[in-house]
Structure 1
């Protein structure tokens, strides 16, 4: 007996129909006429001859079409290039992120379910049509098998060979095969038909319909056209080209950062290329004599050499060597996707001593800012999101009921107005209001704050070591009301306006420079935003503006007009290190470079909290302060006492927007009501005399049917503007 591994010799007297049908149905491989290797097209084809798309499964470049380059293979190392270990628990599954991860997952499941639910009737129609096609295809296959497919070709072959003996032999074989296969086909059809009628008569309809479902799906599978699916795709996964070492080397050599044909001018890698945060990163070693500055200047050429957008290429310093840097290339533009709504919308209490969530970096990691012991400068062109960025940090401080707030907006925009719900001091714009002159409110607050800082240092130095172990403010001291040293966050938006107000700007500038240098160590946080970081005017105030700008430890630059302005915001040398906010696209809103908050300088997409969101957060913050008993200052209705009075400014403040003139009696009554500390016993004659002494003429004013002496709003404003122009 022959073993199972032995092949049986075919019977020469019997025709093998299975082999003949296989040979006739097997496509002939294409052969290169030039004598090249055989190309198997079937290997590149899917089922039923459908050609598969393999453009994203091959290397980006043809290895045979370019000069061989020396490089590392693409790999994912077990450890990061700097030797640090990956977190055991992924970031998305950590306790602080678990809720967001589950919410995002459930939201995606709900979206996909809804997408397919709406299209389910169409899916059913397709399945029925494909099942009908599948049934006809199965019947055709069975009939073709019984009738012996391709027998005409065999008979024609013998006729062409003029071999009647062979023709008769094949004819007899065909008849014999059809008879045998017909019997087999009849045995198949008989039980199926009888079983179908029996099942229809005896089996409950519900079970019968359930049994038909898999049969329907099987038939639909056989009947669907090649490359077609019944269920569509709800979420289309983006596709990108995989970078490899040859692509990176080609880009660097095209950028003239090295030469593969010269000794000592080859580009080398300090690590294997690895996947990280939606992109690929690798340590690149430039030739001796080249450094980070050269790579930064050639960033555009590198992006072109890799055939990606400039916004996808990030170059950062490696501390081990100046000629080594980290290249990170995003799969797609990472800055085009917004970071989403602010997590502060949960309206939960915050802690100013903990980092404030600010946004997401280019790799999708959460970026937080430590506000304690620091001051933060935000600069950008108009309408790039600097106010939103500053307000995000102020909202975080507002949700800490033990942190005091002072908010001053030189631009007077609506963005900050709702902070009146929680701020101890606030002033918006430069025009006079019922609260007084915004510039005077600011200078009065800064005077008090300077004295408070000096007093704090004196009191901290006198506290026992067990209470104040390092001689500086602690969380326990700040939250204990008996020490009277709460943390303050001072937000100044469009602060350049306060350096351009004439004589009063000298004192404001002097106080701000002192405080930004000294106050952070006493628990006073500054968050300052400006659209004019280059400065204002000339002279002493201008130099103090520069000093104030340059003494911020943390810098955040959204899109600027040039690299020079970017350096003014980020600090000198930022451009040489590869950080230029002028390269950010104008379509990006709320995207900027954060320098000084950590060792890295990420490009951050800030969280969004629009006007409605901010109001919701501030209403919750006010309730937290009321519950904790820490609501105070102007937010609690307390008036801000002034050291001196300004008769001209005070008179201007009592005019409503639509009022063109007021009687002296009305002016005196309003001043006594609004500013009682200076005008409690004021008479109409007294205020008339004081105003006329300042240059305001007394004229007849017709009001409420009476024509009496008084002042016109236009005259008061004219005198006030003249005074400001003269620097008085």
Structure 2
């Protein structure tokens, strides 16, 4: 075989290449899961990289072939082999020196506690069964003693020579028989002496134990001898000590198994030219050590979409559950993707109770704990600057997921909470303990008209957004360098700047009211809030089981706008792909995320795709906070608010339907970007923008009220007209003086 050479294109010449078949176990054999296969060793020279291909040869089964370059005098083919080369990445991913879960005292304590609980369970499990173990050890120890004596006697009698002496007799070979007989007699004599010495030693040891050893000496000897004899005497399939915990079974993957899966899913063919599936990397374990992964290269003309559609068939070919198969698209090529197969179904393992049950104060400026991903890693979600949409079929964990995030805001006493429950269910009732607004259903009852209450609440939030932005625009660059809300500013101006969380449970019900005017007004307010609110510290948390097909005309347009402007999406099990696309967005399916394919069943409640929160889209198992847990957290949240003096609105027994008129705040809200306004202009803006409180105001009325509050009436020149009016900085100064007082 000639030395391999490299052609100018870096490709191999298939016509003259020498093929060395490597014979694995045939597809479908019982050992295909654990067969050891040679793998290609990555070369530092991209031209020397081997090509791993699937298929069967004419005479032998081959799972892949290593192709070498043609002879030096062969003319190279200018063909792209499609392999591609890995670039050197000095900043590549590195395994952590200390695992993330052990980098804090809390993480170390959790790990110690987990192992302690496991050891305690094992101790209790085996402690209860100790009498049974002792009885079985005595029985099988007796059997083992008998077996040991029998084996010693057979050794002394040289029973293995019986066949040779019988054969000499059958052949009439007297000389051979005599020779064997003399040998066996000598051997028996020697071995008899050895056994006699052994028996004497054992007898002497027993006599010494009887004579000299205390009771604990007998226990120590029995603890050593009896288990050994019991192990020697018991059958192989009858262990004395049964395991206290199950041992997880997982399938050991290799290239052959992966190829079988892809070919059985119709994603290539081993025998057709150009239809072989290849590998860009060798099989390896995931960083967490909980699965196997390999980078797959599909045949030309087959893209990532085809793999997504064939995921169930691929899982069948791999002999695993679909929830164990994860596909990660390679942005550099539509043919390439990373296949990850988890050892066991990660979504069937619950994430456990929410860590919020410690009821300690939380900071809304830090991410909220949400659950675990498919690799068992903690998933947190930043709530600030985000609007979050949660959608699913009924009874799939949608409300629990939304409530989990709302409970995080509850434990920060500086957060104002408005809860709107469109389905009027008991799931949110306890939030009345802390909510500034608490609105249920769409039908009027003894608590009033919820639709009117919602419109008033949304209008108040809109005014808060406008006032916040106006106030931020008045701050200096030193105090507010980026012109946006900060934690420091919220602490400095707590009455003006704070975080407001708006929870809209089954929000689609408020777009399908009998009154079209109410539909339009609510739709318009929600569209404004979701477009402008997040940058002003308003967190929207929306949930729906019907995220499409709502309303008509402007209402439908505004509904779609409100739905589509959510920055983060969490989709649990959906009824079909269309609903999944409505929740996750149109691009999610092409990236391999379809919530209608999530597994069904009680173990999978609270499992969904978290899309848009980061570059990756994890499959999250949310933490659990049931009704009792929620009430415990809400009770702590109310105590925190009472201690901080931030309990207000509905929870404090105040009427938040139509707030009292704050003259200076309303005036600032309508100023916009103008530095000064005539009194007539100011009165017109108040009537237009805040008509529920200023519909009948006049220039003289607003002038008198402002002057009473310390705002001077000055000459204002606008558009060439000089009239009496006021300046925005004077109104702001008066408002600051009033707030300080």
Q: Identify the TM-score tier after normalising by the shorter chain.
A: 0.7 to 0.9
- Equivalent in the alignment of 1:440: 452
- Residue 385 of structure 1 is aligned with which of 397, 402, 425? 397
Alignment of 1:33-182 (within 5 A): 57-58=34-35, 66-70=61-65, 83-95=92-104, 96-182=106-192
3-state SS of paired residue (2:64): coil
- Equivalent in the alignment of 1:705: none
Alignment of 1:339-378 (within 5 A): 339-378=351-390
- Counterpart-to-counterpart distance in 2, 1:504 and 1:67: 70
Question: Given that residues 302 and 335 in structure 2 are in contact (C-alpha distance below 8 angstroms), is that contact kept between their aligned partners in structure 1?
Answer: yes
3-state SS of paired residue (1:282): strand
1:592 pairs with 2:608 = yes
Relative distance call for 1:368 and 1:142 in structure 2 (3 A) is same
Relative distance call for 1:577 and 1:172 in structure 2 (3 A) is closer
1:574 pairs with 2:588 = yes
- Residue 330 of structure 2 is aligned with which of 315, 318, 330? 318
- Counterpart-to-counterpart distance in 1, 2:130 and 2:654: 63
1:416 pairs with 2:393 = no
1:527 pairs with 2:527 = no
- Equivalent in the alignment of 2:703: none
- Counterpart-to-counterpart distance in 1, 2:250 and 2:261: 18
- Counterpart-to-counterpart distance in 1, 2:216 and 2:453: 81
Relative distance call for 1:612 and 1:165 in structure 2 (3 A) is same
Question: Given that residues 468 and 496 in structure 2 are in contact (C-alpha distance below 8 angstroms), is that contact kept between their aligned partners in structure 1?
Answer: no
TM-score after normalising by structure 2: 0.74
Question: Given that residues 32 and 257 in structure 2 are in contact (C-alpha distance below 8 angstroms), is that contact kept between their aligned partners in structure 1?
Answer: no
- Equivalent in the alignment of 1:214: 224
3-state SS of paired residue (2:129): helix
- Counterpart-to-counterpart distance in 2, 1:483 and 1:398: 18
3-state SS of paired residue (2:389): strand
- Counterpart-to-counterpart distance in 2, 1:55 and 1:248: 10
Deviations along 1:42-83, whole A, 9 cap, x unmatched? Answer: xxxxxxxxxxx98864359999974432489xxxx9x99993
1:627 pairs with 2:647 = no
Deviations along 1:604-658, whole A, 9 cap, x unmatched? Answer: 11111111110011111111222222222211222224379xxxxxxxxxxxxxx
1:551 pairs with 2:528 = no
- Counterpart-to-counterpart distance in 2, 1:62 and 1:580: 32
- Equivalent in the alignment of 2:17: none
- Counterpart-to-counterpart distance in 2, 1:185 and 1:641: 101
TM-score after normalising by structure 1: 0.76
- Counterpart-to-counterpart distance in 2, 1:182 and 1:190: 12
Alignment of 1:274-673 (within 5 A): 274-276=284-286, 277=288, 278-482=290-494, 484-501=496-513, 502=515, 503-587=517-601, 588-642=604-658
- Counterpart-to-counterpart distance in 1, 2:201 and 2:132: 34
- Counterpart-to-counterpart distance in 2, 1:100 and 1:195: 50
Larger Rg over CA atoms: 1
3-state SS of paired residue (1:335): helix
Please tell me the root mean square deviation across aligned C-alpha atoms, in Å.
2.8
For residue 391 of structure 1, report the CA deviation from its aligned partner. Answer: 0.5
3-state SS of paired residue (1:423): coil
- Counterpart-to-counterpart distance in 1, 2:443 and 2:486: 39
For residue 596 of structure 1, report the CA deviation from its aligned partner. Answer: 0.6
- Equivalent in the alignment of 1:667: none
Deviations along 1:288-319, whole A, 9 cap, x unmatched? Answer: 44332232223233223323222222222222
Relative distance call for 1:180 and 1:98 in structure 2 (3 A) is closer
Deviations along 1:124-169, whole A, 9 cap, x unmatched? Answer: 1121122212222222222223333245434322222223344444
Question: Given that residues 453 and 657 in structure 2 are in contact (C-alpha distance below 8 angstroms), is that contact kept between their aligned partners in structure 1?
Answer: no
Deviations along 1:173-222, whole A, 9 cap, x unmatched? Answer: 44444344333332332343234223312222222332332122332232
Q: Greater CA deviation, 582-591 or 516-525?
A: 582-591
- Counterpart-to-counterpart distance in 1, 2:545 and 2:512: 14
Question: Given that residues 71 and 249 in structure 1 are in contact (C-alpha distance below 8 angstroms), is that contact kept between their aligned partners in structure 2?
Answer: no
3-state SS of paired residue (1:281): strand
3-state SS of paired residue (2:348): coil
Question: Given that residues 422 and 441 in structure 2 are in contact (C-alpha distance below 8 angstroms), is that contact kept between their aligned partners in structure 1?
Answer: yes
Question: Given that residues 502 and 541 in structure 2 are in contact (C-alpha distance below 8 angstroms), is that contact kept between their aligned partners in structure 1?
Answer: yes
Relative distance call for 1:160 and 1:93 in structure 2 (3 A) is same
- Equivalent in the alignment of 1:240: 250
Q: Greater CA deviation, 340-349 or 205-214?
A: 205-214
Question: Given that residues 71 and 268 in structure 1 are in contact (C-alpha distance below 8 angstroms), is that contact kept between their aligned partners in structure 2?
Answer: no
- Counterpart-to-counterpart distance in 2, 1:391 and 1:89: 34
Relative distance call for 1:82 and 1:133 in structure 2 (3 A) is farther
Question: Given that residues 279 and 295 in structure 2 are in contact (C-alpha distance below 8 angstroms), is that contact kept between their aligned partners in structure 1?
Answer: yes
Relative distance call for 1:85 and 1:643 in structure 2 (3 A) is closer
For residue 529 of structure 1, report the CA deviation from its aligned partner. Answer: 0.4
- Counterpart-to-counterpart distance in 1, 2:107 and 2:184: 72
Specify every segment of 5 or more residues in structure 2 that has no aligned partner in the other structure, as ranges.
Answer: 1-29, 38-53, 68-85, 661-741
